[in-house]
Structure 1
Amino acid sequence: MTAAEIRLSVAIMHHPRRRERIPPLVRDCAPLTARVVTDPDPDGVPSPLRTAKVAWRAVADGATHHLVLQDDIRLIRSFATQVHHAIAARPEHGISLYSHWDSPQNSYLVRRAVIAGWPFAPLSLFEWTPTQGFVLPVRVARELADYLAGIPDDVKDDDEMVVMFCREAGIPVVGTVPHLVDHRFDPTIVGHPGRFHATVFLPAPVLSPTYWQFSTSAEEALARRCRSDEKLPYTVQLHRSRCLLRPLRPGSGEPVEHGFGWYWADHCGLVGLTVSQVVDGFDRLLGVTGLPSGLPWRLALEVWAAGYLLGADAVTVRRGEADGVGPPAAVGAGLAQAAMTSWITSGLAEPDAAGLTVERRAALVAIGLAGVSQGWLGGWQEAS
């Protein structure tokens, strides 16, 4: 299917509390025509699910695909063009246009795809599907509407229901890299705690006409992490200024939000790395660049370790690709810097974040990216 063959229906989930957001959001969708779907009971108990039920029914006549947006987002420049190209590349998939920057699984799966240099990231079958912007083929969108209709509104979270539907229906879900929408720093209607931001967002990305082409072998390699095809599926997390490994146990019923992770230095051997590989590379970096004044050694090492583990993991996706040994294309496009910046900003403990100047934060991003490059090269050499 080509982009010209896509006929996209758009619905915006809206709560009257955010009425000022609608005119600019509708304008930014142009030339797409967006239908605004207002919460049918705005004074009732807050429930995105209640509005999602209506939005997934609001399919325009003649559409091939249906996109549901939420009203607390902003869009990239040339949104309509890029979303058409993305759908044309994966017309039978569910496509998330966003992932939350510190979600336990999907944010790492997106960062892994960024560093591997691919425009889509297969998402978790068990973590909530990001629904700030979500596309489905029309047939599937209507099936989702039927599925949601039988769920009580007091369940509230539509994203938890969407992942269940897609898993049960066998609908593969991918996230766009970069994301095409970002979350505004607004309180959620339901009142979820924390800050909300995209994992990898560039307001005006420069993407070639062929950017969204995607190797099926790469998609399969990335998707194995979402299933149980690997001996030890895992993600890497920066949490309260510590680098952690989080083993995934698909289908075990273990909550994806659990707060338990394995400290990287104690368990990196399980993923084929040694502490000395990681630390020696860090020491070599400091021997060349030194440690920026006022930047704690402890913090710099944790960010380096996260980057190193990410790079060593991402290179496994490129093995067998002709250009696998070269630097990932996404690094040159600025996506890796965006992904690392959001990782650090979301992953630092509050006292550490408060003590960072703009210059020290930029130095941390550079250290993390240097770790990615070193881990990538080390992983490639190990495989060779």
Structure 2
Amino acid sequence: MHHPRRRERIPPLVSDCAPLTARVITDPDPDGVPSPLRTAKVAWRSIEDGATHHLVLQDDIVLIQGFATQLHRAVSARPGHGISLYSHWDSPQNSYLVRRAVIAGWPFAPLSRSEWTPTQGFVLPVALARDLADYLAGIPDDVKDDDEMVVRFCREAGIPVVGTVPHLVDHRFDPTIVGHPGRFHATVFLPAPVLSADYWRLSASAEAALDRRCGSGEKLAYTIQLHRSRCLMRPLRPGTGEPVEHGFGWYWADHCGLIGVSAGDVVNGFDAFLGTRDPAPEPHWRLALEVWAAGYLLGADAVTVRRGEAAGVWPPAAVGAGLAQAAMTSWISSGLAGQDAAGITARGRSDLIATGLAGVSRGWLDGWRAEP
């Protein structure tokens, strides 16, 4: 999917797809009101004869090294799924679902059935791609956002959608054509990941455990968010009419008991961590506590995916090198308040990442010990 305003990006992007042969679908009305949906309608209809799967990429991305190889392996592991190659680093639901999969050591993250499906890179089996093209054709172009329509299509058609861990594409730090506010970056992206040939392995039990959070299989489904330097819980309430992007969350210390975590255990773990640090972490302790709490709650949540296994101390062998750090780095970069982000030093940022990962480890261990 291409807008002529970005024509200089096409040659390197097409080259990075090799040995896949990428075809460029240009916005049919580039001077009209900006509408990714308008171009998506054409792109999803442009299916190569004989193909088994259809991939649509947007032109404001960069690809990992070895993109075609990893894409083929991921699709081979999930041939009947919709597969997103990206998620936005602070989306209210999908970014946390991806981080949870990272910490649990699972290469696919089942994605939300209510939040927009990331379409910077999205793959469907050909039959479903044709159905999506038919579905989009009936929607007026002034709706604009194709990702909002894709999640509706997949939900109504009962198509399971997963995100790759790590992501195979990243969003460039550019303004969007439509003009969405904010900064855009992937949740977990490594430019040159080292992934074994069997990395995209199948584990039905792990995927089922992760997927329960996306449906109605848990009494209190939730995500954890770092927002303006505060750690928040966001209960998922599908069917209530609440917009997924609403700006309200529950402060972790007041409500973590609802998910079986003691606020005292979180704070005690933080105090013990500070006692091991010489020198002490550079950021103010209140900011460090928020990051620690987010990491702790993530770890305590992710260990439930491994219930029944000898989970032990985090990270388990299944957590790929660099993935957890990439996920924590993007969480902190997207979750700091503007004043904190502007004032933090390189050492301070590094200390926060270490604090968050130490929180994950402590939350994982405490959660494993508390398993029935």
Give the TM-score band, short-chain normalised.
Answer: over 0.9
Tell me if structure 2 keeps the 8 A contact 1:123–1:174.
Answer: yes
Q: Residues 8-52 of structure 1, C-alpha deviation per residue, up to 9 Å, x if partnerless?
A: xxxxx0000000000000000000000000000000000000000
Tell me if structure 1 keeps the 8 A contact 2:104–2:319.
Answer: no
Question: What residue in structure 1 maps to residue 150 of structure 2?
Answer: 162
Compared with structure 1, are the counterparts of its residues 194 and 291 closer, same or farther at alpha carbon in structure 2 (3 Å cutoff)? farther
Shift of 1:297: 0.7
Question: What residue in structure 2 maps to residue 61 of structure 1?
Answer: 49
Tell me if structure 1 keeps the 8 A contact 2:300–2:364.
Answer: yes
- Give the partner amino acid of 2:88: H
- Give the partner amino acid of 2:365: L
Question: What residue in structure 2 maps to residue 87 of structure 1?
Answer: 75
Question: What residue in structure 2 maps to residue 136 of structure 1?
Answer: 124
2:342 and 2:74 map into 1 onto residues whose CA distance is: 38
2:314 and 2:248 map into 1 onto residues whose CA distance is: 35
The answer to whether structure 1 residue 32 and structure 2 residue 7 are counterparts is: no
Shift of 1:325: 5.7
What does residue range 167-246 of structure 1 map to in structure 2 within 5 Å?
A: 167-246=155-234
TM-score by length of 2: 0.98
What does residue range 1-384 of structure 1 map to in structure 2 within 5 Å?
A: 13-290=1-278, 292=280, 294-321=282-309, 327-329=315-317, 331-383=319-371
- Give the partner amino acid of 2:251: Y
2:242 and 2:178 map into 1 onto residues whose CA distance is: 24
Tell me if structure 2 keeps the 8 A contact 1:94–1:171.
Answer: yes
Compared with structure 1, are the counterparts of its residues 105 and 291 closer, same or farther at alpha carbon in structure 2 (3 Å cutoff)? farther
Aligned-partner SS, 2:29: coil
Tell me if structure 2 keeps the 8 A contact 1:201–1:338.
Answer: yes
2:162 and 2:107 map into 1 onto residues whose CA distance is: 10
1:105 and 1:171 map into 2 onto residues whose CA distance is: 18
Shift of 1:288: 1.1
1:75 and 1:89 map into 2 onto residues whose CA distance is: 20
Tell me if structure 2 keeps the 8 A contact 1:244–1:263.
Answer: yes
Aligned-partner SS, 2:226: strand
Greater mean deviation of Cα atoms: 257-266 or 320-329:
320-329
Shift of 1:252: 1.8
Question: What residue in structure 2 maps to residue 9 of structure 1?
Answer: none
1:329 and 1:352 map into 2 onto residues whose CA distance is: 34
- Give the partner amino acid of 1:113: A
Q: Residues 136-187 of structure 1, C-alpha deviation per residue, up to 9 Å, x if partnerless?
A: 0000000000000000000000000000000000000000000000000010
Question: What is the aligned length?
Answer: 372
2:364 and 2:181 map into 1 onto residues whose CA distance is: 35
1:66 and 1:294 map into 2 onto residues whose CA distance is: 48
Question: What residue in structure 2 maps to residue 3 of structure 1?
Answer: none
2:314 and 2:349 map into 1 onto residues whose CA distance is: 27
Tell me if structure 2 keeps the 8 A contact 1:100–1:199.
Answer: yes
Aligned-partner SS, 1:56: helix
Task: State the identity as a percent.
Answer: 81
- Structure 1 consecutive aligned stretches of length 4 or more whose deviation exceeds 6 Å: none
C-alpha RMSD of the superposition: 1.1
Aligned-partner SS, 1:34: coil
Aligned-partner SS, 1:41: coil
Aligned-partner SS, 1:289: coil
Structure 1 unaligned blocks of 5 or more: 1-12
Shift of 1:330: 5.3
1:287 and 1:332 map into 2 onto residues whose CA distance is: 29
Tell me if structure 2 keeps the 8 A contact 1:315–1:324.
Answer: no
Shift of 1:253: 1.7
1:362 and 1:211 map into 2 onto residues whose CA distance is: 28
Shift of 1:328: 2.7
Tell me if structure 2 keeps the 8 A contact 1:114–1:330.
Answer: no
- Give the partner amino acid of 2:309: E
2:56 and 2:123 map into 1 onto residues whose CA distance is: 7
